[in-house]
Each structure stands twice: as structure tokens, then as C-alpha cells.
Amino acid sequence: MKLIEEVTDILSHLYEHGWDERNGGNLSYIAKEEEVAEVCSLDSNLRAFVYPDCDLSSLVGKYFVITGTGKYFKNCEKDPETNLGIVRVEDAHTLRLLWGYKTGGSPTSEAPTHLLCHAKRLAQDPAHRVVMHCHPTNLIAMTHVVPLDSARFTEILWKMQTESIVVFPEGVAVLPWMLCGGTEIGLATAEKMDSYRSVVWAQHGLFCTGRDLDEAYGLIETIEKAAEIYMLIADKKILQSISNDNLKDIAKAFRLEYRKGIID
């Protein structure tokens, strides 16, 4: 079950960082048919989950590994079949459960955000596969003390360490505090995913996407690392920093198409 092993390995790493307390965080991963077939029968039909407010038509036929609502990341590796599910999108509003959620339950409460973000990212990048949500401590702290503006957040995060602009040249989008667990926040997040792979939820956490688990996880690590540096130095006397010109030099050297209008 390589598919399940890879997913639960990443979930354990996220948990060990302290970014997924209790049932915090959720993950969904577009699985290939042959990967699913190694875990369960493709004809399996355990239950259905209906999302009347979400248009999933562009995802019909796709398989997802998706964490269960209320489940703890720390438990996924030792009992994946209870804490994870494998679903197929049956029609524009319905998921069919093929495997998992053994003791009951359903996909994460953030399933609307995950699914709408998958649809949006796939439209931008056919190789896209992963949506990851977690509660990184320093990034959440930043949303208490920095104006909730995507350009301002991006500029700060880029200037905290040399690697930031290399890893997320498109920047990060920031949403104001919104009620989580519904279609409204899902639509707002997916709208940002048109041109970002990372969306910050104020006083809540982070959504990152990627072509594979490592890419989405690496985005989270790099963004949270930059936020950690910011929270370490924000109230100190700054003697030197990365300048706009330094960032432009990095962009030139790495041939980055970075988001314009922030350091120009």
C-alpha cells in the first residue's frame, strides 16, 4: 500500500512539527487508478457523501485519498483505514467511498475547500495532485500582527530568508478571518488558487498545493520557517535585511517569474 504509506508518512511529519494538534489539519491527494487498485476494489461502494453547493464536475472520475473529519494526524500511520478514506467523484455533487473511515465518519469538514482548490489548480496545472491544510504556529501568529494583505505578507516572507522567493515566487494569498468548514471559505480559497499555490487563513492556518506530497509539504515548511524568523525578529532592532534589489538578483539568477507589484 505505497499510496497509503506515502500519505501517512507526510501526515506524521506534519504532526511532529506541531502544526496539526488534535484533529487540526487535513489532506487530500489525487490518486491514480492503479494506486487505488492496490488498496481496494475499484467497484467498492461503501457510502456516498453529497456536496450540493459544490460544482465538482471537472473532477468526475478522479480518485482522492482524503483525511477524515475529526481524525488525528498522529493516528493515521498506525491506523490508516480508520482515519483516511479513498473516494471517487461520482458526479458533480457526490463522492463515493471505496475504502476507509472504517469506524464511520466522513471526509474532512474542509472537503469543499479541498475539492474546489483541486479543480482550480488542475485548470492551471494538469500535473497538480495535492492539497494540504495545517495550523502552523508562527504563521498564525503573524496574522495577528501584520495587516491582512497578500502583498505585505509576501514581501515580509520573501525578505526573511533567501530561499523564500525561490520556493514561492508567486507569493502567498491571505484571506481575512472567515468561518471554516464550508463552501463560502472554499470558494474564496479556490479563487486565490487561480494564481497562488498557498493561501493563508487568518487566525487559522495555511492551505498549500503541489504536484506531489513533497512539493506541498515543502511549501508549508518554507512559509512557516519564514514566519518563524519574522516572529523572532519582529520586535528587535533590525540592522540589515534582504533588499528589493537582493530579491531581484535572486530572481534573475534562478530565472524566477516572481509576482510583480510587490518589490518593484
Taking a C-beta distance cutoff of 8 angstroms, is the pair 154, 224 a contact? no
**How far apart are CB 216 and Zn ion at their closest, in Å?**
15
**CA-to-CA distance for 226 and 124, rounded, in angstroms?**
26
**CA-to-CA distance for 18 and 11, rounded, in angstroms?**
11
DSSP category for residue 259: P
**How far apart are CB 40 and Zn ion at their closest, in Å?**
28
x-or-dash pattern for ligand 13P, window 29-68, by CB under 6 A?
Answer: --------------------------------------x-
Rg (CA), the chain: 19
Site for ligand 13P, residues 99 to 128, rule: CB under 6 A: 108-110
**How far apart are CB 32 and ligand 13P at their closest, in Å?**
24
Beta strands in the chain (DSSP E): 26-31, 47-50, 63-67, 84-91, 94-100, 130-134, 173-175, 198-201, 205-210
68 versus 205: smaller Cβ distance to Zn ion: 205
Binding of ligand 13P at residue 209 (CB under 6 A)?
no
- All three cell numbers of 227: 514566519
Q: Which of 110, 215, 224, 228 is catalytic?
A: 110
Question: Which one of Zn ion, ligand 13P, none interacts with residue 108, CB within 5 to 8 A by kind?
Answer: ligand 13P
Report the residue from 6, 12, 13, 24 that binds ligand 13P according to the rule CB under 6 A.
Answer: 24
Report the residue from 7, 8, 19, 23 that binds ligand 13P according to the rule CB under 6 A.
Answer: 23
Binding of ligand 13P at residue 82 (CB under 6 A)?
no
67 versus 189: smaller Cβ distance to ligand 13P: 67
Only one residue has cell 487561480, namely 194
For residue 212, give the 3-state DSSP assignment.
coil
**How far apart are CB 38 and ligand 13P at their closest, in Å?**
25
67 versus 143: smaller Cβ distance to ligand 13P: 67
Residues paired with residue 233 on neighbouring β-strands, in sequence order: none
Site for Zn ion, residues 188 to 227, rule: CB under 5 A: 205
Question: Which one of Zn ion, ligand 13P, none interacts with residue 94, CB within 5 to 8 A by kind?
Answer: none
Taking a C-beta distance cutoff of 8 angstroms, is the pair 263, 165 a contact? no
Site for ligand 13P, residues 151 to 180, rule: CB under 6 A: 180
108 versus 189: smaller Cβ distance to ligand 13P: 108
Taking a C-beta distance cutoff of 8 angstroms, is the pair 158, 170 a contact? no
- All three cell numbers of 46: 461503501
**CA-to-CA distance for 4 and 76, rounded, in angstroms?**
9
Task: Verify whether residue 34 is a known catalytic residue.
Answer: no
Total site size for Zn ion, rule CB under 5 A? 1
Only one residue has cell 504563521, namely 139
- All three cell numbers of 109: 469538514
* List of residues contacting ligand 13P (CB under 6 A): 23-26, 67, 69-70, 108-110, 133, 180
Active site positions, annotated: 110
